[in-house]
């Protein structure tokens, strides 16, 4: 069963469910999960420069292209611009690197990963460059400058559609006001406990789709962003009851709720049976009453607060949800 699609403002179609790949950095785990997804009928994969797994994904794509099991036009690949490439002329350097790793001529969606820019210093803490005082090496590249670089990527044929991730409404509006090419999607944290209804309506008015990252609340997120005592999205009792009622898994109820709202979801799994399960959400429908029950479970609870970016002027998450 392939995912249903949504037509973007770029005219291209984007599958409503894709495979997430964050934290899948071991080559074998990554390649096996991509193979399991392609075999299950996935037509959409989400990755990023920062995930350090594009090369493994590229290897499997080549394997499937060469075996005649997949055609380039049948798969939707999203990847993202990293923070150290925000200067207009550096955007093309990053996408060239993304494309080389993925062994592709173009990606279907290219996103600015976060609205915060940093400069290379030769010294890093994890993915983030640090300065001589071991502080984050922030710079202030204007968002509109980066967006111009993103538009150039489309003109150069290296991305079919472009968008942003982790931007707030003010930042999205800034881009929309002067963009020659509007963002086609905005990728943000979105799940039962952070339903993003306000942002969803704001984007809908502007013809922009929303892509939900961490649709299960990212239960395996790293310890430094676990919140003591925070509720687990997958333990939600209303969703569990509905899983029994509809004879589906809890995960499928969460995903069905998102796609039925018209939201694109990119669940991560490295487990072949859960990979298959997560795509099987297009052959049932939640009733209006059950959609309302799930809507009432919102807690406006953000797990990804981007602490590492808090002192940057473009820190996005001060806005009311």
Ligand X SMILES: NC(=O)c1ccc[n+]([C@@H]2O[C@H](COP(=O)([O-])OP(=O)(O)OC[C@H]3O[C@@H](n4cnc5c(N)ncnc54)[C@H](OP(=O)(O)O)[C@@H]3O)[C@@H](O)[C@H]2O)c1
Q: What is the DSSP letter of 23?
A: T
Q: How many CB atoms lie within 10 A of CB 203?
A: 20
Any alpha helices (H) in 41-168, and if so which ranges?
54-66, 88-102, 143-155
Residue 60: closest CA among 81, 86, 83, 42: 42
Return the residues of window 219-248 that contact ligand X according to CB under 6 A: 219-221, 234
Q: How far apart are CA 128 and CA 163, in angstroms?
A: 22
- 53 scored as a contact of ligand X (CB under 6 A): no
- Name the residue nearer to ligand X (CB basis): 149 or 215: 215
Q: What is the closest distance, in whole angstroms, from the C-beta atom of residue 304 to ligand X in the complex?
A: 6
- 270 scored as a contact of ligand X (CB under 6 A): yes
- Name the residue nearer to ligand X (CB basis): 247 or 288: 247
Residue 20: closest CA among 5, 10, 30, 12: 30
Return the residues of window 107-166 that contact ligand X according to CB under 6 A: 113, 165-166
Q: What is the closest distance, in whole angstroms, from the C-beta atom of residue 276 to ligand X in the complex?
A: 9
Return the residues of window 88-107 that contact ligand X according to CB under 6 A: none
* Cβ pair 303, 196 in contact under 8 A: no
Among 136, 183, 217, 316, binds ligand X (CB under 6 A): 217
Count residues near ligand X (CB under 6 A): 30
- Name the residue nearer to ligand X (CB basis): 6 or 57: 57
User: What is the SS3 assignment for 79?
Assistant: strand
Backbone angles phi, psi at 108, to 5 degrees: -80, -30
Return the residues of window 172-211 that contact ligand X according to CB under 6 A: 187
Residue 59: closest CA among 95, 20, 21, 101: 101
Q: For 221-238, what is the HEC assignment?
A: CCHHHCCCCCCCHHHCHH
Question: Quick check: is 51 catalytic?
Answer: yes
Among 269, 279, 286, 316, binds ligand X (CB under 6 A): 269
* 20 to 39: interface string for ligand X, x by CB under 6 A: xxx-----------------
Annotated catalytic residue within 42, 51, 128, 193: 51
Q: Which residues are catalytically annotated? A: 51
Residues forming the site for ligand X (CB under 6 A): 20-22, 46, 113, 165-166, 187, 213-221, 234, 249, 251, 266-271, 274, 277-278, 304
């Amino acid at each position: 069963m392939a995912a249903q699609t949504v037509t973007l403002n770029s005219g291209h179609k984007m599958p409503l469910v894709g495979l997430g790949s964050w934290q899948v950095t071991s080559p074998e785990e990554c390649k096996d999960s991509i193979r399991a997804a392609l075999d299950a009928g996935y037509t959409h994969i989400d990755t990023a420069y920062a995930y350090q797994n594009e090369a493994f994904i590229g290897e499997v794509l080549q394997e499937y292209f060469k075996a005649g099991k997949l055609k380039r036009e049948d798969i939707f690949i999203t990847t993202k611009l990293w923070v150290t490439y925000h200067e207009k002329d550096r955007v093309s350097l990053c996408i060239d690197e993304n494309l080389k790793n993925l062994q592709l001529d173009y990606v279907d969606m290219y996103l600015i990963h976060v609205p915060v820019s940093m400069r290379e210093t030769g010294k890093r803490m994890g993915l983030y460059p640090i300065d001589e005082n071991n502080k984050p090496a922030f710079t202030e590249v204007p968002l509109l400058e980066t967006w111009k670089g993103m538009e150039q990527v489309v003109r150069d044929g290296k991305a079919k559609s472009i968008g942003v991730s982790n931007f707030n409404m003010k930042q999205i509006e800034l881009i929309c006001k002067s963009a020659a090419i509007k963002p086609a999607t905005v990728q943000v944290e979105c799940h039962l406990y952070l339903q993003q209804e306000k942002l969803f309506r704001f984007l809908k008015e502007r013809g922009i789709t929303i892509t939900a990252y961490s649709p299960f609340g990212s239960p395996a997120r790293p310890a430094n962003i676990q919140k003591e005592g925070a509720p687990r999205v997958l333990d939600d009792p209303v969703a569990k009851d509905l899983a029994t009622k509809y004879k589906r898994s809890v995960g499928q109820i969460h995903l069905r709720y998102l796609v039925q709202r018209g939201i694109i979801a990119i669940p991560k799994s490295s487990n072949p049976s859960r990979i298959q399960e997560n795509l099987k959400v297009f052959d049932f429908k939640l009733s209006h009453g059950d959609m309302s029950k799930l809507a009432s479970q919102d807690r406006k609870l953000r797990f990804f607060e981007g602490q590492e970016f808090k002192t940057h002027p473009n820190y996005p998450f001060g806005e009311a949800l």
